[in-house]
């Protein structure tokens, strides 16, 4: 896989570091949500789990299709016309946008549920 990419290993690593870091953060968030749900069975644990799973799926797809190099691969290596390459990239962008939007909505729902659950007055 690495020998197929034009360029050096440094540029390949730099293009995927943010995605790998985001994926590791989402895995930590998923473990935290599983811990919350199994320990206290709060409803926001489920929405937090689904939100982090959607982001992990998005990051895995991004890495597996090698999105930063996809236009080069489609246009130069496969010989597709530029209009088809733009259409394919637009479809993938819409897929990523829908996954991130759904995850953000679920994250906002879980944050509001966390706020409502722990809003109770505390006795000093």
Q: Per-residue pLDDT tens for 42-71?
A: 778 889 999 999 999 999 999 999 898 899
8 A C-beta contact, residue 45 and residue 33: yes
**Within 13 Å and on the Cβ side, how many CA atoms surround 112?**
6
Q: What pLDDT, on the 0 to 100 scale, is given for residue 121?
A: 59
* Residue 118 pLDDT greater than 80, yes or no: no
CA angle (31, 37, 43) in 5-degree steps? 125
**Per-residue pLDDT at 124 exceeds 80:** no
Q: Does the global pTM surpass 0.85?
A: no
Q: What pLDDT is attached to residue 25? A: 94
């Amino acid at each position: 896989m690495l020998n197929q990419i034009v360029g050096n290993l440094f540029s390949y690593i730099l293009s995927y570091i943010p995605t790998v870091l985001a994926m590791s953060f989402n895995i930590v968030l998923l473990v935290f949500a599983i811990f919350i749900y199994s320990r206290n069975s709060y409803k926001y644990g489920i929405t937090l789990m689904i939100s982090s799973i959607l982001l992990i799926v998005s990051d895995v797809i991004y890495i597996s299709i090698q999105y930063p190099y996809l236009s080069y691969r489609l246009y130069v290596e496969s010989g597709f016309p530029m209009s088809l390459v733009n259409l394919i990239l637009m479809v993938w962008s819409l897929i990523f946008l829908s996954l991130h939007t759904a995850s953000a909505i679920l994250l906002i729902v879980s944050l509001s549920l966390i706020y409502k659950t722990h809003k109770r007055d505390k006795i000093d």
